Every structure is written in C-alpha cells, then in structure tokens.
Amino acid sequence: MARIICITNQKGGVGKTTTTVNLASCLAAIEKKTLLVDLDPQGNSTSGVGLNKHECEPNIYQVIMREADIPETMRPTELKKLFCVPSNGHLTGAEVELVNAEEREFRLKSALATVEDDFDYILIDCPPSLGFLTLNALTAAHSVLIPVQTEYFALEGLSSLMETVDRVRESLNPGLEIEGALLTMHDSRTRLAAQVSEEVRKFFGEKVYNTVIPRNVQLSESPSFGKPIILYDIRSSGAQAYLNLTKEIVAHD
C-alpha cells in the first residue's frame, strides 16, 4: 500500500512544488512507483513534470467533483515510474461548488483509495492556503511534509498550520503524522539562514530533516523546461540535495 504524503505550508513560495516534483521524481528514479497529485489550481507541479496543464482533461477537478476516477486522469511522465494527476485553474471552482456537499473533505481520500495498492508513494502538492483543498489533502494523507524557507518570517504561520493539523487529527484523520520539516532555499553564507534554521529546529525538534535544500539556480530553471532536476542537471547541488532527502525519507518509512 502506498505511503501518502502531503506537502503543505500555507505560506506561498516556500518550495512546496519544487519539493513535490523533485522528491516524486527521485523516488521514481529509485524504482518506487510514485503518483504525484497536483492539488493546486496554479498547476505548477503539472507543468513541472512536463505536462501542458491546459490540455489535461479530465483532471483533479473532475476527481474532486466525483465526475472522474483517478485512473482516467493519471498521465505518464518522462520517468517510467512517475505518474501525475494534473491540475489547472478549474480547480478553483470546486470549493464554492461543494460548499454544501456532505463529507466534502473526504473527496480526495475516497478517490485515492482505489489506487493506493498500485503505488509505493503518493505525493500531494497543496496550494498556499489552509482551505478546502488542503483539508482534503490532510484528510487523505498518512503524513505531512512541511517545507520551510530559511528566510525572515519563516516561522510565521507555522503555529496555525500545526493547529490545523491538530484539528484534522481530532476529526477527519486521527492517524495523521508529521513526516518532517524541510529547510529550503538555504543560503549557507548568511547569518539569517543559520538563525532561522536554529529556530525551526527548536520548533520541530527531531522532525527536521538532516538534508537542507540549498538555494540553487538549476532548481529554479528546471520547471521552465518541464523537467525535474534529476533530468535537467543531476550534478547540481539541488539534485544531490533532493536525492539525499529521498534516501532519508525511504530509510525512515
């Protein structure tokens, strides 16, 4: 059965999508059959693995609306073991359309139940909010991976994220674990980055990965080529960091 990990932080631009795309592709590269579920209307993970988000119908929107099943929406990628359930702007409408629907937070969970046995890992890329879509991801997941950018204000919002995780545990998903917190876009030359890392380690304790993702220009370039970093520049520091993270996660499961 797949381990389902959602990548969440309601703060925008902290490296959720970069982490989802690259962790998913590294897992696929070490022969773990992996499904990347893009749950963000921005569709950045979808384009990050080389799919055209405007030509992906049906997609996660139809899944959430119960108009399609996961297998119908799943696309192959350049990596043999990596598949993607794409997203695009249509997903924005789902929250409003389901406002009075019963069990609306369980839509993704019940859809994934049909394919859980077919994969080793399912990774869910969340939008930068704690709304309906993120609640669906937290309800469906076994664990949550939290990217934290080592920048000023990095800790802002982590308390409300943890409160949300606690609330989800109380009602929607009692088994939800913290997979880990990941320091991203780290610039080892600055004192600020070192201070922020220290604070994040105080906040999450042992749950912070040893692997730190450096600020790396190849990581920011690869999405415009629709390629995960291991297919764009395997020798880059970004690729090496995501390979190390992958080893940590696999060892821990």
Element housing 198 (H / E): helix 191-204
Query: Could you give the C-alpha distances from 93 to 62, 66, 192, in angstroms and in order?
Result: 11, 14, 39
Binding ligand ATP by CB under 6 A: which of 14, 39, 60, 85?
Answer: 14
The residue range among 9-17, 24-32, 130-138, 203-211 that interacts with ligand ATP, by the rule CB under 6 A, is: 9-17
Is 18 an interacting residue with respect to ligand ATP (CB under 6 A)? yes
State how far the Cα of 246 lies from the Cα of 250, in Å rounded to an integer.
Answer: 6
State how far the Cα of 42 lies from the Cα of 142, in Å rounded to an integer.
Answer: 24
Binding Mg ion by CB under 5 A: which of 16, 53, 107, 186?
Answer: 16
Tokens read off for 236: 């880059």
- Count of residues in contact with ligand ATP, rule CB under 6 A: 20
Site string for ligand ATP, 138-157 (x = CB under 6 A): --------------------
Q: Give the number of C-alpha atoms closer than 13 A to the C-alpha of residue 67, restricted to the C-beta side.
A: 11
Q: Decide: 95 and 131 in contact? Cβ < 8 Å.
A: yes
Site string for Mg ion, 29-48 (x = CB under 5 A): ---------------x----
Binding ligand ATP by CB under 6 A: which of 12, 71, 76, 205?
Answer: 12
Site string for ligand ATP, 160-199 (x = CB under 6 A): ------------------------xx--------------
Residue 42 Cβ, how far from Mg ion at the closest point, in Å?
6
Give the bridge partners for 183, in sequence order. 148
Give the bridge partners for 180, in sequence order. 145
Q: Which residues bind Mg ion (CB under 5 A)?
A: 16-17, 44
